[in-house]
Amino acid sequence: MDGGPHPRNLASTSTPATPVRHHSQQILVTPSMVKKHQKPRGSNAFHLPGPPPILGRPLFYDDVHFFSDPSAPRSFHSNGRQKKFNLWQCWSNEVIPSLIGPYLTYQYKSSLLRHWPASQNDDVECTASCHRRTLEVLNIDCCPCAPAPLQLLKLGLFACAPIAPSLAVDLRVLELVRTLFVWITPNTTAWCEALEVFLTAWGYKLSTKDNLRRRFSNAYHWYSVLVTNAGDHIYSLISPHLPSRSLGDEVLPAQPSDYLRSRCPVCFGMQDWQKDHGSHLKLDCHVCIDACFTQKWSANSRGADGLDPPNPTQSVFISDEEVAQMEAHVRACRGSLPGRGTKHKKPEGDKDGYEDGMRIPVSTLDACRESFLAADEKREKASTCLFTDTGIMALLCHHDCVLWLVNMTSAGEKQYYALALIKKPFKHLPPTMTIGILYDIACQLERSCLKYPLLKQGVLSHIVFSISVFHTYGHQWPCQLIYRPRKCEGFGLSDGEGCERLWSALKMLIPPLWVSGYHQCLFVLNAQVQHLDGKNLDTFGKWLSRRWTRCQTKKSSAEHALQQLSVDEANICPEWRAQVEHQMKPLSRRSKTNNDEQISKILTLERTLSNLDDSVRALEMQLCAGNTFNIVDFNLRLADERTYRSKVADTLRRWKAALGIRQLTDLQQLRCSIFLQIRLDAQAVKARLHEHLRQRKFEIERFEWSYCQTVNEHKLHVHAEASIQQRNPTIQKLVTSYNNLCGKLIDLIRRGKAPAGAIAPHSISSTGIFQLDVDDDIWQDVGLDGNDMAPPAWLADENMHAAIKFQLEVDQCNEEGVRIMREHCVLQEWMMAEWDALQEARTCADLCFHFDLRAHLLSGLVVHWQSQVRPIPCAWPLPDSWGPTPNDLAEAANMYYQPSCLDGTAAVYDSENDWESDDERENDELIDELEEAALAGAYMDLDSDSYDI
């Protein structure tokens, strides 16, 4: 509790005998706890008494009628659930709305809880300077016009119940706990137990066990609701003075909506989103989507027979009704779907090609889909029997600001969750804005949207899909060429991993939310998101500065590397387009077809048949020589060999008959060419190596980023890691085998025994084989695709290959630089609009104190941002002023430039005792950033029908 000069942490009240009459109630306020050995006369320990008994009326009514209806009858026979619901409704509809004004007034009178307002009663002063124990008893008159929570709030206390509170907590204590619980795992049980132990050690003992936890938790929850609603109330008085952004309920807005503007000022805070269309940015904003299956809560964790009531606060969660509507829409569009576990096989003889609207072949899409399903089979599902809600899916902008969340109730990652999130922003955006969406299975999601009318054409035509940077390893190379953001025009240096950083920030909430009620979970998550919003708002300037520096450094490095290459820059872009066009061709038009597999099988059968012929011939010669001990057994063995040879010969005959003319020609060439046979073996080994590397990545990421582990789960993960390490020699052996085959091919080319124009394949370095990137040579089948034509420059010329990579980096940095300059202007325009709206709202004299607080906050942000974005040029002309006056900025700077507010500064007198050096601190920050960037929890419990298309 509070340790101030007049502690009023706990209060005890009683209810009035009649609801319409004034009734004097006694409130016991604890004195200053000065000496442990000083106890009340005749008592060994101090007991806080409960509320005085009121004869003939219970402390908590079963059927609560609110203050506005004092004459309504009361029922005393409802069950506990109904009583809880009634109390919840009383808090939500009556008490909290009635306390917003008094709470804001009390904040003003107490200077944000810094001191107690002047009391109306004369305090008793001690003239002898003696230490003594006193009890202060205050009488309050409760009636429907002045209920107990209202009177307690005016005294700086918050009640634990709306009608007959038996505990009131100091507002300063509640504010301390509220601030603490957004930085650590919220745990009111531990906090209350620690307080009880502390009071017990001082000789103060509560009269009942577990009373403090229940009552304090109730007071803390509703105080948090009050603070949230009070902040929303203040902003609701300012927002009407902002520039109008909507044309009406039935018309799409001409500018991004006020909701999006409040979620991310940098993405949606501009005055006119079309102002900088001369920059030719392909995408107006970037968002990312991902799911987390660790944020879940148990089904009836404490025997609850229903949901807890909702809280009267705003939420970033999409309503269950909208999700259900999208689910029904998806089912209606797809019609009847195959059952779970059904494999979608391509009919024999089907030619590869393109589906309508897709830029990559069907074979590539199918391979990506199968790779995800293979990874999914080895994952543990979130049980819907143990958990009513299995996870959450998020939609974030590329500044890591949460736009919307959706609660998931299925065992897997269904597409309708992502579609519900995608559909939501288009209700708040102008119809011509284009969004880039980064998603780990973007290729499959776009395929579904093009095959079925899951999204309106007006929406789908303004979406560009891409894959998050750290999720591309599971996709085929042609898919990476189109969907990887580093190779896709318009995404700049966005990585799409903001959701992973969000899951890292929310991981501390996993244990308490597993056993919380549904709406309580949503309330806590919303509170944490609000806290993260505040942190993001403060760091926007730093974010832009860091991205600008990184962009310019990377661009300078790439341009310098381009200058070192003897390549005509005019040929780089055409060669890149030629590479994409070639590698996007359907398999039926490429040399690397299923013929290779069929011909390889025929060659294997021919070798098997030849071995069987030798075996039968040896047995026949043995029979002719008379070297048999048991003629009966020998004849049976010879008959089995001849029967098996006959079956192999029949199979070989059927397979040859099924070959076309080109396949027969290829077969004849393979028979006559050792080079082609070795190359075919190298293709098979490399395909196996690709599959092993992908499978290893799927397995190892399962436990690398596990947030919540029990002891048994930890043992399983240790065992899994050991098993994966045991399989590493297999991968290394495949690398060795492949390199040996490459060596043979190179030797044949050198000796002139290879076909004309044959290209030597690239060997694979065993160093770093487990830390591959999508641009590594292992993913390109140079010299293995059977193309004997003159190789293009993008394939055969190493300088051109490197030049393409560096040119793409330069293009990405140019896009990023233009976007950062634009966001610099948007940030300043947002601040100017906020400041002007605040000045117009100051006409409300009753809340001038709170408007001054917001003015001080905005001034501090300007001081913080200006110094960081000053090196960034503006995309269009803007005034020097950001809104606040020089006096406002000087006052804010005086606070901001204190040593405790500056990054990387420390007091002189602490420097000698600081055990952590600056270098170590910088290294820790770098490690934290690398861990956040590497937090790629890919393929979270994907369900098989998530990819039904």
Residue 693's pLDDT is 66
User: Average of pLDDT values for 652-680?
Assistant: 63
pLDDT band at 33 (very low <50, low <70, confident <90, very high): very low
d(CA 161, CA 60) in angstroms, rounded, equals 9
Q: Has residue 110 got a pLDDT over 60?
A: yes
For residues 756-761, give the mean pLDDT.
72
Q: Higher pLDDT residue, 417 or 918?
A: 417
* Percent over 90 (pLDDT), the chain: 22
pLDDT higher than 60, residue 48: no
Name which of 704, 697, 684, 700 is nearest 773 in CA terms: 697
pLDDT of residue 43: 41
The pLDDT value recorded for residue 7 is 37
Report how far residue 311's alpha carbon sits from residue 469's, in angstroms, rounded to the nearest whole number: 38
Q: How far apart are alpha carbons 423 and 266 in whole angstroms?
A: 21
- Identify the pLDDT of residue 620: 82
Does the pLDDT value for residue 86 go beyond 50?
A: yes
Above 60 in pLDDT, residue 37? no
pLDDT range class, residue 865, cuts 50, 70, 90:
very high
Q: Within a 10 A sphere around the Cβ of 333, how many other Cβ atoms?
A: 14
pLDDT in tens, 226-253: 999 999 999 998 988 888 765 444 456 6
pLDDT of 805 reads 87
Res 692: pLDDT:
62
Identify any residues that bridge with 139 across adjacent strands, giving them in sequence order.
Answer: 26
Kindly state the average pLDDT of the residues 35-45.
Answer: 39
With 60 as the cut, is the pLDDT of residue 484 above it?
yes
More confident residue, 575 or 111: 575
- φ, ψ of residue 436 to 5 degrees: the values are -95, 125
Q: What confidence score (pLDDT) does residue 940 get?
A: 34
DSSP code of 92? I
User: Quick one: pLDDT at residue 13?
Assistant: 40
Question: How high is the pLDDT of residue 832?
Answer: 93
Q: What is the pTM of this model?
A: 0.70
Do 446 and 419 form a contact (C-beta atoms < 8 A)? no
Average pLDDT over residues 777-792: 59
Mean pLDDT, to the nearest integer, of 575-604? Answer: 67
Residue 767's pLDDT band (boundaries 50, 70, 90)?
A: low
pLDDT at 778: 61
Burial 518-547 (b: 16+ CB within 10 A, else e): bbbbbbbbbbbbbbbbeebbebbbebbbeb
* Cα radius of gyration (the chain): 36
The torsion angles phi and psi of 861, rounded to 5 degrees, stand at -65, -40
Question: Which string of DSSP letters, residue by residue, matches 200-220?
Answer: HHTTEEESSTTHHHHHHHHHH
In this prediction, residues 143-160 reach a mean pLDDT of 87
- The model's pLDDT over 718-746, given as tens digits with 9 standing for 90+, comes to 544 554 455 567 777 777 888 888 888 88
Tens-digit pLDDT profile for residues 791-832: 677 766 778 888 888 999 999 999 999 999 999 999 999 999
- The percent of residues above 70 in pLDDT, for the chain, comes to 67
Give residue for tokens 């050792």: 674
3-state secondary structure (DSSP) of residue 425 = helix
**pLDDT score of 23 more than 60:** no
Q: Hey, which residues does 317 pair with through a beta bridge?
A: 405
Banded model confidence at residue 896, pLDDT cuts 50, 70, 90? low
Domain ranges of the chain: 23-120+130-239, 282-296+314-334+357-515, 592-672, 674-786
Report the run of H or E that residue 618 belongs to, with start and end.
helix 594-625
pLDDT band at 935 (very low <50, low <70, confident <90, very high): very low
What letter represents residue 605's amino acid? L
Mean pLDDT of 47-53: 37
**Confidence grade of residue 757 (pLDDT, cut at 50, 70, 90):** low
User: What are the pLDDT digits (tens) for 391-448?
Assistant: 899 999 999 999 999 998 887 788 899 999 999 999 999 888 899 999 988 888 999 9
- The residue whose two tokens read 């399989």 is 727
CA dist., res. 948 & res. 414, Å (int) = 10
Computed over every residue of the chain, the mean pLDDT equals 74
* pLDDT for residue 700 is more than 70: no
- Does residue 267 contact residue 260 with C-beta atoms inside 8 Å? yes
Q: Please write the tens of the pLDDT for every residue from 638-651.
A: 888 888 888 888 88
Q: What's the pLDDT score for residue 35?
A: 34
Query: pLDDT value at position 220?
Result: 93
